[in-house]
Structure 1
Amino acid sequence: MRFAVSYSTPAYGTDPERLVAFARRAEECGFEGLYVPEHVALYRGAGFGGYEMPPDLPYGDPLELLTFVAASTERLLLGTAVVLLPYHHPVVLAKRLATVDVLSKGRMRLLTVGVGSLAGEARAVGVDFASRGRRADEAIDVLRLLWSNDRVSYSGEFFRLDDVSSFPHPLATLPIHIGGSSRAAARRARDRGDGYFPGGALTPAERAAQWDLASSGRDNLEYTRWASIDLTPAAVSSYEQQGVTRLVVTTPDLDELARFAERFRLG
């Protein structure tokens, strides 16, 4: 089992010294990587699952945050949970992700993408909410083509490229993990992903059904899940029996990170 941490900018803020202290402590403790979230735009009334999100939550840009983290650490892998893929043009995003990977010496390895759940956020960036899944599928294809080829042509429903080049390439083609809490996300992981990272608010039966769908015909799909900072060894064994390969925890308490690392002998 691998263990990573999430740094929640809405909860912890975007103070640079706090972010660096958190990332360095996570690295010292032996955590595999650090994840950050994304929302590109919020608005009054935005929310899901009965929870309304205050519009002034300080969501920092995930790739800017991770570049800052990379410059302050040496080993920690860089992750997103999640980049809202339909709200980025894949040609621009391919360049940004490749640049972070090169500058971090190959640490942009925990990229997780999702399609978003806020219709108003899609409107804010001029994207049709109903087509965001198809747009994400095309974007994944375009990203991989640009990272793996010197010249790319592509013709799809949303994107068209005619003999395009994008350099630098990442040091190795970046894994793309799929995040989400739907069977559509599970199918996307099966068909286009290197891993599946489902959300937390699922019943055990639905979670199992989604993993069965995602892993159908796949024997190398990584399975990432959220977990409590109070995780016990017995709980880890239960996750392992479900096929989980990575657990992500979070806490603002740096000493609690250290206690978790000691409990599981990280590093």
Structure 2
Amino acid sequence: MRFHFTEAAGDPAHWLPLARAVEDAGFTGICLADSLAYPSESDATYPYTDDGNREFLRGKAFIEPLVLAAALTAATTRLHVTPFVLKLPVRPPVLVAKQAASIAALSGNRLSLGVGISPWPQDFTMMGVPLPHRGRRLDECIDIVRGLCGGGPFQHHGEFYDIPEIEINPVPTQPLPILLGGHSDAALRRSVIRGDGWMSAGASPADLDTMLAKLSTLRRELAPDKTFRTFAVSRDAFTPAGIVRLAQSGVTDAIIGFRGLHEPGPDHRTLDERIEQIQKFAATVIAETGTAA
């Protein structure tokens, strides 16, 4: 099992010392949330809270994840960084490829790219991107990012993007892992067909078990030989016995947060209190179960 710390949009000044503390504690990586802006008005519901409420996002500080990934990899020596997840279809895919390739090249391949579809129509509006067919748009974006980050001449002629033959440099010396977020059947299928893994944004134990079972079936049917990683937020990850259960269900990477992103209001924990939580988890769970590189 690999362990990845996640932070619930706390004090931006804490990010760099937290990353160093996470690395020292034996975590494999750190996962970064993405929020472009908070719309003053929206009738959309949030898919990952019981009531669809989005007020927990109001007033929280979100540093753009690829900017933050560059800072965190520069401040550490072995920590891997994964956006969880980058709202890819609202961004220009060539620019994302250039940013991701640059970070991966500078950090020694310590970036994985978690991507997904934004639940907010306003994200598409503010970025000047049409909302319809966003799933197919995401598919093209993934193909473009993967193609460009693989090195060499690349061109793409699709439904949404028409890119003449181009090449970016530098590129990673290893393939850039692309992970898919989302809980729908379409997201699970996309993760198996186009991705190198799947990321769960948090679900009840029963729902997570259901999705992992569906994922296992899809992998057997569509990509039985593909190396695949499964990231999950789960209460089971806070005990050694729970880690064993997650591993048996197919989870390869546990995402650990000590304050839920969906909790409203400011986070008043001090930096020392946060580091103490990290160190305590490392001593009681990571040290007892081991962590994979």
| TM-score normalized by the length of structure 1 | 0.91
Give distance in 1, aligned partners of 2:110 and 2:8: 20
How many residues end up aligned between the 2 structures? Answer: 262
**Structure 1 residue runs without a partner (length 5+):** none
**Structure 2 residue runs without a partner (length 5+):** 259-268
Alignment RMSD (CA, Å): 1.9
3-state DSSP of counterpart to 2:96: helix
Mapping of residues 144-163 of structure 1, within 5 Å: 144-163=146-165
Q: Which amino acid aligns with 1:82?
A: V
Most deviating of 185-194 and 202-211: 202-211
Tell me which residue corresponds to 1:175.
177
Superimposed CA distance per residue, residues 151-187 of structure 1 (whole angstroms, 9 cap, x where no aligned partner): 1121001111111111111222201011111111101
1:106 and 1:171 in contact (8 A); partners too: yes
Structure 1 residue 209, shift from structure 2 partner: 4.4
Tell me which residue corresponds to 2:11.
13
Q: Would the alpha carbon gap of residues 201 and 228 (structure 1) be closer, same or farther in structure 2, given more than 3 Å must change?
A: closer
Q: Which amino acid aligns with 2:175?
A: T
Tell me which residue corresponds to 2:224.
218
1:186 and 1:213 in contact (8 A); partners too: no
1:229 and 1:250 in contact (8 A); partners too: no
Tell me which residue corresponds to 2:53.
51
Most deviating of 181-190 and 122-131: 122-131
Q: Which amino acid aligns with 1:221?
A: F
Q: Which amino acid aligns with 1:218?
A: P
Q: Would the alpha carbon gap of residues 103 and 124 (structure 1) be closer, same or farther in structure 2, given more than 3 Å must change?
A: same
2:237 and 2:254 in contact (8 A); partners too: no
Q: Which amino acid aligns with 1:215?
A: R
Q: Which has the higher contact order (CA 8 A, sep 6+)?
A: 2
Structure 1 residue 68, shift from structure 2 partner: 1.0
Which of 83, 86, 100 does residue 83 from structure 1 map onto?
Answer: 86
Give distance in 2, aligned partners of 1:130 and 1:141: 19
After the TM superposition, which parts of structure 1 deviate over 4 Å for at least 4 consecutive aligned residues?
none
Give distance in 2, aligned partners of 1:116 and 1:234: 34
Mapping of residues 90-169 of structure 1, within 5 Å: 90-108=93-111, 110-169=112-171
Q: Which amino acid aligns with 2:29?
A: G
The percentage of aligned residue pairs carrying the same residue is 29
Q: Would the alpha carbon gap of residues 213 and 157 (structure 1) be closer, same or farther in structure 2, given more than 3 Å must change?
A: farther
Which of 10, 14, 26 does residue 30 from structure 1 map onto?
Answer: 26
Q: Which amino acid aligns with 1:112?
A: G
1:44 and 1:55 in contact (8 A); partners too: no
Structure 1 residue 230, shift from structure 2 partner: 6.9
Q: Would the alpha carbon gap of residues 237 and 229 (structure 1) be closer, same or farther in structure 2, given more than 3 Å must change?
A: closer
| TM-score normalized by the length of structure 2 | 0.83
